[in-house]
Amino acid sequence: MKTNLFLSFVFICAVSAAAQIKIIHKEKISVPSSEQWFQAQYSPSGKDIYLTNSGYNGIWKYSGKNKTLTKITEDPGSGYNFVVSQNEQQIAYRRTFQEPNSLQRSQEVVIKNLSDKSERIVASGEDIQTPVFVADNVSVTNLRTKKTILPSVKTSQPVVLGIEDQKISLLKKGKKEIFDPLKNGRYIWPVLSPDGSQLAAVDMDRGAFIADVNGTNVRRLARCNAPSWTRSGKYVIGMNDIDDGHVIIGSDIIAVSADGKQRINLTETENGLELYPHCSPTENKIVVTTSDGEVYVLTYEEE
């Protein structure tokens, strides 16, 4: 513990007096080094952390209560954009089978019951979008036919269905809507604020932005990759990764206020590259992975 406290002290960066969010603690999650851990994310309750590896070949669950790691699946490609249901009884993911000596592939969307480990294939084809949960029902889009299977239940808040023809696909009031707030945008990493009123994303040639979910009030954020909203909705947490065209040479976690006016470096670590922040929906915590495949939880204080 002494070591961790020391590390935490080194890690906590100095922020300006005007800063209204800062990291107050850093803790390394004890997971085996046999995998390069990648893109950790909190469960809907914030109690557990789900992980994949750098090849996206598998999903693991780290129990916040027991501090143990459990493999959910090792299906190829399953770790990319998997989703856990609100009741945390199911996990949905896409797996991909590359045909040997061919450009062809087949994809399947699987729902796995986390209690009895049973699984169901709910969609298959050559070009299937990763699934999303809509009130614990799966929605999935065939990107070739553009057809989306929508559950009959309607949610009060919009849901990001994914990227379709480089644009953001939203589910609003039970209907699919293509969202293009920057006009001729080409988007990645769309994520809705906790109250569903705002959306943060990254445009390939114009950087990160926040827009109201009706497409107005666009605020440009410059580089803020892999954005994730704090549970308060006051900040978007992202990564400011720098590269030389071949390899990432630096990355820190940043916070940008929802109005886009305040940009705060949350980390300034010299020897570590913090990547892919994901905010807990229930606590002031951010889970990040590093370029070395380690996992850390950052506790922040928001004033």
Partner 1 sequence: MKTYRILIALLVFSVAVIAQPPNNLSGLKFCIDPGHGGNNPANDRRIEPDPGNVFWESEGNFQKALLLRPLMQAKGATVLLTRETNSYPNDNDEPSLTARWQFANANNVNWFHSIHSNAGGGNYTCVLVKEDISTRKPAFPAAVQMGGLIFSNIRSMIRTASSSGNSGTTGVYLDYTFYGGANGGYNLGVLKGLTMPGELSEGSFHDVFPETRRLLNNDYRKMEAYGILNGILLYNNCPKDSGGIIAGLQVNAENSVPINNTKVRLLPENRVYSGDLFNNGFFMFDSLQPGQKTIVFETPNYKTDSLKVTVAYQSVIFADRSLYDMIPPKITLTQPVQGDTNFSVTNIIGIRFSKTMDTASVRAALFITPSFPYTLSWTNTNSQLVIRPVSSLPVKTDFIVTIDSTAKGKNGIMLDANGDGIAGDGLVLQFKTGEKDAVPPAVVTAFPVDAAVPISPNQIFNIQFSERLDPSTVSTVNIKIETENGGAVASQQVQYWDGPGIGYVNLYVADPLESGKAYRLSISNVKDLSGNKLAATVLKNFTTASGTLSYTVIDDFNSSVASWFAPAASGSTVGINGDSTKFTFNAAVKVPHLASNTGSAQLQYGWNSSAGSFLIREYLNSGAPRDVKWYPQNTKLQTFLLGDGSKTRFRFAVDDSVEAFPAGTTANHEVSPWYTVDWLGWRLIEWDFKETGAWLGNGIIEGQLRFDSYQLQYVPGTSSLFGSLYFDQLQLIKQTPTSVRIAQSQIPTQMELAQNYPNPFNPATTIEFSLTEEQFVTVSVFDILGREVKQLVHETLGAGRYKTVFDASSLSSGMYVYRLTTPNYSETRRMMLTK
Other Cβ atoms within 10 Å of 121 Cβ, number = 10
Least distance (Å) from partner 1 to the CB of residue 12? 25
Q: Which is nearer to partner 1, 7 or 218 (CB)?
A: 218
Least distance (Å) from partner 1 to the CB of residue 37? 12
**Which tokens belong to 63?**
């129990």
Least distance (Å) from partner 1 to the CB of residue 148? 10
Q: Which is nearer to partner 1, 12 or 253 (CB)?
A: 253
Q: Which is nearer to partner 1, 8 or 52 (CB)?
A: 52
List residues near partner 1 by CB under 8 A: 34-36, 38, 54-56, 77, 80-81, 96, 98-107, 120-130, 137, 140, 142-145, 147, 149, 151-152, 162-163, 165-166, 186-189, 202, 204-207, 222-223, 225-226, 239, 241-248, 275
Q: Which is nearer to partner 1, 1 or 103 (CB)?
A: 103
DSSP 4: H
Q: Which is nearer to partner 1, 158 or 227 (CB)?
A: 227
Least distance (Å) from partner 1 to the CB of residue 109? 8
Q: Which is nearer to partner 1, 28 or 263 (CB)?
A: 263
DSSP the chain: -HHHHHHHHHHSPP--TT-SEEEEEEEE----TTS-EEEEEE-TTSSEEEEEETT---EEEEETTT--EEEEE--TTTTSS-EE-TTSSEEEEEEEEEPTTSS-EEEEEEEEETTT--EEEEEEESSBPPPEEETTEEEEEETTTTEEE--S---SS-EEEEEETTEEEEEETTEEEEE-TTSS--EEEEEE-TTSSEEEEEETTTEEEEEETTS-S-EEEES-EEEEE-TTSSEEEEEEEEE-SSSEEEEEEEEEETTS--EEE----SS--EEEEEE-SSSSEEEEEETTS-EEEEEEEE-
Number of helical H runs and strand E runs in the chain: 1, 26
Least distance (Å) from partner 1 to the CB of residue 45? 26
Q: Which is nearer to partner 1, 165 or 268 (CB)?
A: 165
Least distance (Å) from partner 1 to the CB of residue 202? 6
Q: Which is nearer to partner 1, 64 or 162 (CB)?
A: 162
3-state DSSP call for residue 58? Answer: coil
Least distance (Å) from partner 1 to the CB of residue 185? 11
Least distance (Å) from partner 1 to the CB of residue 204? 5
